[in-house]
Every structure is written in C-alpha cells, then in structure tokens.
C-alpha cells in the first residue's frame, strides 16, 4: 500500500494522460442499460426481496453477466457469491399504541399514525405504562458541544425524537448539511445505548425528504438484520409517527410540540418528561435466511499495484412483494436500484474490453439488503474479501438519471476527499459541471452503500442526477421531482417507455473515466484534512 498523501498531491495525477476509454463507449449505450433494467425490474424477480427467489435470480444474473465480461470471481473461496447471513423479523402489533396523560387518553392506528418494527430478535416486546420523554434531536456530540440528554437517565423509557440534526448554526453540525447525527439509524442506536426500551421518530416531509407513505412500507412486513452480537444494545421497538400523531401525544401531557421543538433548537436542553404513559405490544416472527453479495474482479496489470482495488458498488435488492397500491403488490425498484446495477454491469464490460487492464484491480460489488439498512455493504466492510487497507476508493451507483441530459452532475461526498478534484476535472473536460449535493439537509452521504466504505476509512462517493436539463428543463425537473414524492419505494417504480438514458450514459462515461484514472494514478485517494473519516484511514 502506498503512503496516503494529502489532497493536492493526488490531484497532480489529473495532469496525467487519461486512460483511452473512447473505444469502449459502445458498452455504455441505451440498449445495454435498458436491457439490464428490463430484466432486473421485471415482475419475474418479484421485487428482489431479500432471501427470496427474486434475490437468487438477481444474483445469478449479476454473476453470469460479470462472468461473461471476462471478470474473475471475487469471493475468497473462488466463487462469485459472498454469503451474507441475515435475520428476517416480521413484527405484528398485538396491542395497538395507546397513550394516557392529564388531558385524556388516545388510541393510535398503525400504519396510519405510527409504525412499529422490531429492534431485537426477541419474540415479544411491549411498552407497559411506559413513560414518554421528549429528547429533542436525541444527539450526544461532545465535539459539537451538544447534548440532548443532559445526564438524565432514560433507561426503561420511550423516547420521542426529532429527525435531522440542528441546522441553524453554520458552525455546528455543518449547518444545513446533514451529518450522521441526523440519520434515523443514529437516533435508534443512541436510544439503545442509553437503555431506552423504544424510540419514536417524528416524521416530517422536510426532515425525511420523502412522504410518510415511504415509512409505512416497512410496517407489518419482513425487516432484516445482520445477526445480533452478544451484548450489543438493542431496542425492543423502533417506531416512527406522523407529525400529527406526535402533536397529539404531546398534547395529552399538556405540551405543545412546536414549542418543544423550538426549545430543542436552542441546544443543550434537558429531556422533557411529557407526563404521558404508553401501552403497546408486538410479537416477532424470526427466521434465519441467506442472501449474498456478488463480486467480480478485473485484475490489475501492474504487478506492484494489482493488490490495490478500486471498488464499484450498486445494491441489487428492493422491497419485494408488499402492501398493495391499487392492484399492484410488486415493488419492482426499477430506478432504485435495477438502474444502478445496469450501470455497474455496463461499466464492468467496458473496463473488461480495454486493450490493457488498468494498473490497479477493479472490483465490481453488487450488494444485498441496502434497503434494510445497508446490510450487504456493512457485511462486506466487516468481512472484506481482501485486506481493507487494499481498498483504496469506492464509487457507488444508486439510481441512474432516466430523465435526460444535464449540464451538471451532483457529487455526493463533494469536498470530502480528493475524489472531488478528480471528478471535477473530468467533468470540466467533457463540458459539464460537477456540483455539490443540492439537498445537503437530507444526508444522502449516509444513506447508501458507500457510507460503509467510508466507515472503514475508504474514500467514497457517488454521482447523482443533475438538475440543469438541456431539453425542456422545467418539465424534466418536475418529472424528476415526482419520482421521490410519488414513485420512490412504491410499486410504481417501474421501467417506462418515456425513460431517457442519455443523461445516464453521460454520467456513466464520467464515472468510467474516474475509475480508470483512479486505478492508474501514481498515488491513492485521500480524505480532505479534517474530514470526519480521515482518522479512520
């Protein structure tokens, strides 16, 4: 492994001649991308639910496609599949959520008002006369001089938590750029560490970035976990509630939710016991299943560098068969993420067809269970098939631009590592602009598989569709926006005749050049000095 130089040193690699990628551009075409999406998002695969027949079919398809490219199997045992053990937990509400306070009693209905999902593999969990405590953002961040708990013991209690992290002060929590503290997963993890028996996150469209119907899809269906470690803190119940339900809960104890939220934004405010007692009971059906990550490798051509790997990831799973929307029960996941897998496969074939392989090895990794909490990439990060020090960069593909050509492309992870300067130079050379995430408040860097690479110190990023459309820009921006509000995590995320792959092709060509220049550069990528992940390298 070469030493990790600082950001400006890696940038000197940009002055080197680019790898000749033009001869393989024919493998990044509309027909190639649409053919992969058409199969992976077909009803035949039944939404590629974890541990299902569709999961197995998707993995078989991905492995055979990588093999047909001439890649080598990348698992340590010489196969294409890294087995990922998974616990399937289906939660059934046996006693619905009830609340009692000085202002009366109320009963809440799932999933209209709230959702309840297991946070442990126990057969039963309940809240019996459990105290409800408002804990603001539920954040403990000494380096930010922020503590929402103030030493208050919340063991055995249920926490009512705001989504997101504080955004008013640019000198704290990166201002409007959401950090991991703002992610729902952190809220549940912190509640478990503090001995709470449950947590209810307050949903708002603004803080989540999607409507409550997306949250509702997880209720009453299988949810997935990696096997729990002995002694690992867990919650009996992980819950979300609508904003209206949260207001009703607070009002039962004589409190105003808006006033509580305003107070929490002042910082370092102690928890508020709401004077509300909760009742809830659930049962869990637990079964052990298996899925897997599909791994193909294009060995590097340089004997001194081929043991270093540039990793391309895309998750192949989606939500399987679920709650009907109209008459449709199959959550096909065409954009999310059959399209990303199509991009991965097209890149793999393009790289394999080069006259000479890049100096470093390229690893193409299709991961499972992203929709269930980034489980497949987490498993790989914890059990890498090569020493993690040999993983030098990760480029993730999570949804392609199916709306048309853009002058810009967004870079999730902008400024966090030297990958930014690389991608910016390549975009400029092709007459395009590399832009930071246009919705930094949504915390997208922490919401897809590249995050698990960052957590083990590997510089990571992904490209996201731009907004500066060349043709009918207002119409295309409106179509793109409707994906999140209408089709995201719904059965309607299906391939359609109007899809336009021209923008996806441009983005994949940019990504291809990023891969090849990273694989051929004299130095490895580095985190920007002071970045939150720099110390992990």
Give residue limits of the domains in the chain.
7-70+299-532, 88-286
What mean pLDDT is predicted for residues 282-286?
97
Residue with tokens 């299988």: 222
Residue 89 has pLDDT above 60, yes or no: yes
Residue 1 has pLDDT above 50, yes or no: no
- Please tell me if the domain spanning 7-70+299-532 has the same topology as the one spanning 88-286: no
Q: Is 113 helix (H, G, I), strand (E, B) or coil?
A: coil
Pinpoint the alpha helices (H) of 120-256: 184-193, 205-208, 212-216, 243-252
40-69 burial by CB neighbour count: b if 16+ within 10 A, else e? bbbeebbbbbbbbebbbbbbebbbebbeeb
Question: Nearest CA to 28 among 377, 259, 343?
Answer: 343
Tokens of 202: 């307050």
Query: What does the alpha-carbon distance between residue 99 and residue 460 come to, in Å, rounded to a whole number?
Result: 44
The CA radius of gyration of the chain, in Å to the nearest whole number, is 23
Tokens of 36: 């992969």
Q: Which CATH class is domain 88-286?
A: alpha beta
Long-range contacts of 260-268 (CB under 8 A, 24+ apart): 260/134, 260/136, 261/136, 261/162, 263/136, 264/134, 264/136, 264/137, 264/148, 264/162, 265/136, 265/166, 265/168, 267/145, 267/146, 267/166, 267/172, 268/145, 268/146, 268/147, 268/148, 268/150
Q: Per residue in 317-345, pLDDT tens?
A: 999 999 898 999 999 999 999 999 999 99
Residues in Cβ contact with 143 at an 8 Å cutoff, skipping those fewer than 6 apart: none
What mean pLDDT is predicted for residues 94-103?
98
Question: Nearest CA to 398 among 460, 352, 455, 354?
Answer: 460
Residues in Cβ contact with 327 at an 8 Å cutoff, skipping those fewer than 6 apart: none
7-70+299-532 placed in CATH 3.40.630.10: yes
Residues in Cβ contact with 151 at an 8 Å cutoff, skipping those fewer than 6 apart: none
Q: Is 98 helix (H, G, I), strand (E, B) or coil?
A: strand
**Burial of 215 (C-beta count, 10 Å sphere; 0-12/13-18/19+):** buried
What mean pLDDT is predicted for residues 78-82?
97
What mean pLDDT is predicted for residues 369-374?
95
Q: Per residue in 124-139, pLDDT tens?
A: 999 999 999 999 999 9
Task: Tally DSSP H helices, then E strands, for the chain.
Answer: 14, 20
pLDDT-derived band at 171 (thresholds 50, 70, 90) equals confident
Residue 222 has pLDDT above 80, yes or no: yes
DSSP 248: H
What's the whole-number average pLDDT of the chain? Answer: 93
Q: Per residue in 237-278, pLDDT tens?
A: 999 999 999 999 999 999 999 999 999 999 999 999 999 999
Q: Per residue in 14-26, pLDDT tens?
A: 333 444 555 577 7
In sequence order, the β-bridge partners of residue 312 are 364, 395
Q: Per residue in 375-404, pLDDT tens?
A: 999 999 999 999 999 999 999 999 999 999
Residue 7 has pLDDT above 50, yes or no: no
Residues in Cβ contact with 359 at an 8 Å cutoff, skipping those fewer than 6 apart: 300, 301, 302, 305, 306, 519, 520
- CA end-to-end distance (rounded Å), the chain: 12
Question: Nearest CA to 134 among 117, 123, 120, 148?
Answer: 148
């Amino acid at each position: 492994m070469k030493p990790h130089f600082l950001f400006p040193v890696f940038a000197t690699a940009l002055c080197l001649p680019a790898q000749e990628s033009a001869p393989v551009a024919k493998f990044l075409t509309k027909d190639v991308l649409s053919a992969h999406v058409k199969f992976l998002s077909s009803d035949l695969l039944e939404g590629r639910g974890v541990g299902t027949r569709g999961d197995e079919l998707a993995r078989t398809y991905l492995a055979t496609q990588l093999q047909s490219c001439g890649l080598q199997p990348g698992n340590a045992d010489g196969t294409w599949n890294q087995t990922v053990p998974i616990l399937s937990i289906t939660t059934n509400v046996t006693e619905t959520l009830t609340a009692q306070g000085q202002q009366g009693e109320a009963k809440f209905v799932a999933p209209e008002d709230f959702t309840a999902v297991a946070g442990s593999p126990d057969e039963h969990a309940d809240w019996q006369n459990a105290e409800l405590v408002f804990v603001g953002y539920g954040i403990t961040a000494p380096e930010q001089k922020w503590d929402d708990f103030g030493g208050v013991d919340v063991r055995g209690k249920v926490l009512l938590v705001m989504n997101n992290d504080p955004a008013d002060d640019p000198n704290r929590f990166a201002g409007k750029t959401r950090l991991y503290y703002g992610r729902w997963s952190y809220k549940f993890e912190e509640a478990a560490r503090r001995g709470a028996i449950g947590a209810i996150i307050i949903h708002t469209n603004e803080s989540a970035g999607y409507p409550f119907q997306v949250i509702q899809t997880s209720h009453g269906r299988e949810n997935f976990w990696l096997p729990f470690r002995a002694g690992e803190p867990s919650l009996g119940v992980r819950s979300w509630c609508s904003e209206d339900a949260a207001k009703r809960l607070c009002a039962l104890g004589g409190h105003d939710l808006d006033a509580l939220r305003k107070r929490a934004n002042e910082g370092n405010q102690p928890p508020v016991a709401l004077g509300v007692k909760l009742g809830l009971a659930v049962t869990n059906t637990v079964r052990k299943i298996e899925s897997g990550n599909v791994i193909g490798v294009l060995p590097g051509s340089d004997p001194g560098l081929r043991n270093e790997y540039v990793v391309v990831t895309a998750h192949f799973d989606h939500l399987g068969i679920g709650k009907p929307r109209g008459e449709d029960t199959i959550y096909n996941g065409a954009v999310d993420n059959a399209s990303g897998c199509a991009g991965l496969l097209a890149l793999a074939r393009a790289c394999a067809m080069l006259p000479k392989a890049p100096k470093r090895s390229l690893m193409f990794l299709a991961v499972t269970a992203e929709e269930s909490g980034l489980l497949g990439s987490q498993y790989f990060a914890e059990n890498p098939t090569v020493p993690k020090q040999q993983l030098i960069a990760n480029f993730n593909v999570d949804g392609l631009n199916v709306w048309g050509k853009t002058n810009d492309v967004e870079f999730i992870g902008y400024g966090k590592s030297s990958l930014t300067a690389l991608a910016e130079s390549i975009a400029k050379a092709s007459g395009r602009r590399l832009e930071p995430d246009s919705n930094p408040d949504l915390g997208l860097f922490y919401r897809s598989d590249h995050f698990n690479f960052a957590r083990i110190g590997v510089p990571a990023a992904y490209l996201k569709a731009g907004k500066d459309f060349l043709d009918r820009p207002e119409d295309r921006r409106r179509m793109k926006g409707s994906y999140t509000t209408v089709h995201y995590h719904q059965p309607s995320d299906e391939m359609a005749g109007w899809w336009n792959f021209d923008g996806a092709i441009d983005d994949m060509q940019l990504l291809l050049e990023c891969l090849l220049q990273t694989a051929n550069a004299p130095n490895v990528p580095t985190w920007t000095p002071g970045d939150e992940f720099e110390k992990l390298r």
